[in-house]
Structure 1
Amino acid sequence: MELLEKNSKSAAAIEAITDTNKALQPAQNELIMDYVYETSGDNQLDSLAYVFLGVISFFFVFILSGMSFVRERFGQTLERMLMTPISRIDVIGGYTLGYGLLAAIQSVVIILYAVYVLQLQVEGSVALCTLVMILMAFSAVSVGALVSIFANNELQLVQFIPVIIIPQIFFSGLIPIDTIPFGLGNLCYLTPIYYGCTALEMIMIQGKGFLAIWPWLVGSVIFIGVLFLANVTALKKYRRL
Structure 2
Amino acid sequence: MSVTGGRVPVRHPARHRDPNGLNHFSLRAYRATTVRILRQLAGDHRSVAMILAVPSLVITLLYFMFVDKPHPPGTPSPFDTACLVMLGVFPLIAMFLITSITMQRERVSGTLERILTTPLRRIDLLAAYGTAFSIAAAAQATLACLVSFWLLGLDTAGSPAWVFVIAIINAVLGVGLGLLCSAFARTEFQAVQFMPLVIAPQLLLCGIIVPRDQLPDWLRWISDALPASYALEALQEVGAHPELTWVATRDIAVVVAFAVVALGLAAATLRRRTP
What TM bracket, shorter-length normalisation? 0.7 to 0.9
Give the deviation of 1:168 after TM superposition: 0.7
**Closer, same or farther in 2 for the Cα pair 1:206/1:239, shift >3 Å?**
farther
Once residues 224 and 238 of structure 1 are traced to their aligned partners in structure 2, the CA distance between those partners, rounded to angstroms, is 26
Once residues 140 and 74 of structure 1 are traced to their aligned partners in structure 2, the CA distance between those partners, rounded to angstroms, is 21
Give the deviation of 1:113 after TM superposition: 1.4
**Closer, same or farther in 2 for the Cα pair 1:169/1:197, shift >3 Å?**
same
Match for residue 105 of structure 1 among 136, 139, 146? 139
Q: Is the 8 A contact 2:179 2:263 kept in 1?
A: no
2:179 equivalent to 1:145:
yes
Q: How does 1:165-180 map to 2 (within 5 A)?
A: 165-174=199-208, 175-180=210-215
Give the deviation of 1:188 after TM superposition: 2.4
Aligned partner letter, 1:54: G
Number of aligned residue pairs: 204
In the other structure, the counterpart of 1:196 is: 231
Give the deviation of 1:44 after TM superposition: 2.6
2:83 equivalent to 1:49:
yes
**TM-score of the pair, normalised by structure 2:** 0.68
Once residues 181 and 101 of structure 1 are traced to their aligned partners in structure 2, the CA distance between those partners, rounded to angstroms, is 39
Q: How does 1:68-217 map to 2 (within 5 A)?
A: 68-174=102-208, 175-209=210-244, 211-217=246-252
**Closer, same or farther in 2 for the Cα pair 1:99/1:189, shift >3 Å?**
same
In the other structure, the counterpart of 2:19 is: none
Match for residue 63 of structure 1 among 94, 97, 103? 97
Identical-residue share of aligned pairs (%): 29
In the other structure, the counterpart of 1:227 is: 262
Give the deviation of 1:198 after TM superposition: 1.0
- Name structure 2 gaps, 5 residues minimum: 1-70
Q: How does 1:5-16 map to 2 (within 5 A)?
A: none
Aligned partner letter, 1:149: A
Once residues 114 and 238 of structure 1 are traced to their aligned partners in structure 2, the CA distance between those partners, rounded to angstroms, is 45
Give the deviation of 1:121 after TM superposition: 1.7
Q: Is the 8 A contact 2:141 2:167 kept in 1?
A: yes
- Name structure 1 gaps, 5 residues minimum: 1-32
Computed over aligned residues only, the root mean square deviation of the Cα atoms, in angstroms, reads 2.2
Give the deviation of 1:148 after TM superposition: 1.2
**TM-score of the pair, normalised by structure 1:** 0.77
**Closer, same or farther in 2 for the Cα pair 1:177/1:45, shift >3 Å?**
same
**Closer, same or farther in 2 for the Cα pair 1:203/1:67, shift >3 Å?**
same
Aligned partner letter, 1:201: Q
Q: How does 1:19-58 map to 2 (within 5 A)?
A: 38-39=74-75, 42-58=76-92
SS in 2 for 1:83: coil
Once residues 156 and 209 of structure 1 are traced to their aligned partners in structure 2, the CA distance between those partners, rounded to angstroms, is 40
Once residues 208 and 201 of structure 1 are traced to their aligned partners in structure 2, the CA distance between those partners, rounded to angstroms, is 12
**Higher gyration radius (CA):** 2
Once residues 181 and 168 of structure 2 are traced to their aligned partners in structure 1, the CA distance between those partners, rounded to angstroms, is 20
Highest relative contact order (Cα 8 Å, sep 6+), 1 or 2? 1
Give the deviation of 1:238 after TM superposition: 4.2
SS in 2 for 1:201: helix
